[in-house]
Structure 1
């Protein structure tokens, strides 16, 4: 083989050994990227923060130069950029809407403050002053905020040393340090957004910043840590001593399936109600007078709130029902009227009055879903297991479903103002208790039937 081919083959093999799937390069504009006779792609901001610009050594190999930022500063900046990029997603359309339809005598500070307030609201903060409280979180937007934060946290944790010594036998010291620095940067972004809210008309309730400052970063770091844990074992010896009860492990699968079935059915009912009452919904949309861009934003917020409405439907099926405003309650027995807020999707609400007796049979839906959870629980245990074992798995699975629904309803909030708008949605506590009871009845019925068949 010619020497030139041998040399090229050696460099190809070495290049394959140095390549890592996480080191992706962005596309380069035509004519850009020539460096000492070699091609290299333009790097993104996150890649620059991760440290290392491509350079050629004496042998002509492409290697990583000394990071241009210390690791501590890099991790903090990634956390800061993570929060600011997420903020810009809300800030840009809000500012564009204000520029297309500015208020007389208004200033640019108003949309900046409003966008910052909405961004913090999506992450769980509360707005308002005095008796006015705005506490409604579209669950889709809240999930997107956690996902975006987890992507930034993953970028920061990419360079953590998973082989470092453990802190209190929990996590590697490097992972803890990187996560803490990223958290500081994200907290700075929260602080900047909180300062911008002072210029808007939606004041912030400062004590409610616990969720944006603590809750969202913790969830984001947990998701990022799970991704990191797929490639390396980052859990210390102390986690190995934590043993999940066998009943809980067996109940996890049936609980997930039951929750998906319950929320999926409720979501289908919401979409069906909107389709059947599309005339009223579209009429309210046009009466809102928000303009084109405002109408698009209003429609987007309503789409993001469909899971919240699905939780209201779950409460409707379970029995407690839900309220849109004080004095306008909807349950299987009937609906009462009230002065409704001008939200187009509320045009799909049932007409005021008593419902037919058949509607009351809808309370059997959670019981039937509980039966499905019980059936799935039986498949996770041995056929000849004791009645106590089978019933325990079924009950724990039903409790998981009810608690998850209650927590989601609590996180979604239920207030859009003061007085009549101060308490809307489903009562989280009563929903959890009643729904859990109905699920358990259905699950235990299936378990008892299975046991009776075995003893015949």
Structure 2
């Protein structure tokens, strides 16, 4: 039984008694406000332990001379805040890189804890400002307070490590992550009970956006899937260089496993870099080492094994530039799915609008993910990594639109024959 399950059982049950119809109250050894705060605190601390425990175990197996246990605990706390969007470093040194798998996992774990807290709320309570039941808002606020305490504890523990926290960036794990977690938890709760107030009834998603969401989702999965395949293929082709760098790191057995896990967690980040490569802007690992469809330049790479999959520096043959057609073909696929989302005899304007909105949704999501993932692992040459988010978003949008609108135009021409 987990801590969350233990805390879940302390709230009085609201189930009706089958014989008399009265609510049967289970004994409670904690007041409801305290219980909600403790669920939030347990949510944050359990998530923190997922990072701190492997870090501490790695240090215990291969301790450094003169070090103390406070160092790995502080480092693990810094990493936990990092994957939630906080920035580390001091002076010119800035670490702002969120492995998207770990970031998504942190939000998901927080949403499960928030869901446990909201299970005890009164969904039939009166609505506050016609948004949500007052009980849901109160319980969510208490859970948020507990999670904030966990973030505060982790922030204090970073002082014992060698990765200082940039305090202004603490707003992301303190505000943004729990807000997303509560939104996901309330969404799950809304599937079982009517907890959305009248104000949400007035929010009407335009029909064009609603129809475009499916094609956009499929196009995003296809584009990121192709980019991920490129990353895995490059690693396979240069497996010797990757494993050689892994050995040079000298992280030991457990440290090596953690390093592999961290690189797998950053696979979506690398896929976004490849999207920038296929679209045209390219990407940079360090300042002075730019890779595009025209060629790759060299530079002093950080000692990260996956960077051993980088292509050799030099100019590429002309036909490599044809890979810029990949986003165009993905746009054609989005256009085809958009046609399937509307009536066959819909107007050309309707079909083009759905296809265009779908392409813009894909490009905007790519840009948002890339901006969220960050691109800094240090100072100076390591201060700007990855693909330029804004420029890549614009280029991807144009290329997707070219492919999608071409399919829509072809479909209109066929209908008029």
Bin of the TM-score, shorter chain as denominator length: over 0.9
In structure 2, the residue matched to 1:350 is 311
Q: 1:418 aligns with which of 369, 372, 379?
A: 379
C-alpha distance in 2 between matches for 1:49 and 1:110: 31
Structure label with greater radius of gyration: 1
In structure 2, the residue matched to 1:50 is 8
Residue aligned with 1:329, SS: strand
Residue aligned with 2:191, SS: helix
Alignment deviations for residues 188-233 of structure 1 (CA, whole Å, 9 cap, x no partner): 0000100111111111001101110111111111111111111111
For the pair 1:452 / 2:413, whether they are aligned, the reply is yes
After superposition, the Cα gap between the structure-2 partners of 1:380 and 1:301, relative to the gap in structure 1 and judged at 3 Å, is: same
Bigger RCO (CA 8 Å, 6+ sep): 2
In structure 2, the residue matched to 1:307 is 268
For the pair 1:228 / 2:189, whether they are aligned, the reply is yes
**Displaced runs of 4+ in structure 1, greater than 3 A?**
51-55
1:70 is displaced (CA, Å) by: 0.9
Counterparts of residues 318-357 of structure 1 (less than 5 Å): 318-357=279-318
Q: 1:52 touches 1:64 (CA, 8 Å); kept in 2?
A: no
Q: 2:86 touches 2:96 (CA, 8 Å); kept in 1?
A: yes
C-alpha distance in 1 between matches for 2:243 and 2:157: 34
* Structure 1: gaps of 5 or more residues: 1-42, 56-62
C-alpha distance in 1 between matches for 2:344 and 2:6: 57
Residues paired across the two proteins, number: 407
C-alpha distance in 2 between matches for 1:400 and 1:130: 37
1:378 is displaced (CA, Å) by: 0.7
For the pair 1:427 / 2:388, whether they are aligned, the reply is yes
C-alpha distance in 1 between matches for 2:294 and 2:216: 29
Residue aligned with 1:127, SS: coil
Q: 1:51 touches 1:69 (CA, 8 Å); kept in 2?
A: no
1:65 is displaced (CA, Å) by: 2.9
In structure 2, the residue matched to 1:137 is 98
Alignment deviations for residues 416-448 of structure 1 (CA, whole Å, 9 cap, x no partner): 000100000011000100000000011110111
In structure 2, the residue matched to 1:38 is none
In structure 1, the residue matched to 2:33 is 72
Taking only aligned residues, the RMSD between alpha carbons, in angstroms, comes to: 1.3
In structure 1, the residue matched to 2:19 is none
Counterparts of residues 151-300 of structure 1 (less than 5 Å): 151-300=112-261
1:45 is displaced (CA, Å) by: 3.0
In structure 1, the residue matched to 2:400 is 439
In structure 2, the residue matched to 1:379 is 340
- TM-score of the two chains, using structure 1 as the length reference: 0.88
1:66 is displaced (CA, Å) by: 2.2
1:44 is displaced (CA, Å) by: 4.6
1:46 is displaced (CA, Å) by: 2.4
C-alpha distance in 2 between matches for 1:267 and 1:236: 41
C-alpha distance in 2 between matches for 1:44 and 1:202: 31
Alignment deviations for residues 226-246 of structure 1 (CA, whole Å, 9 cap, x no partner): 111111111001110111111
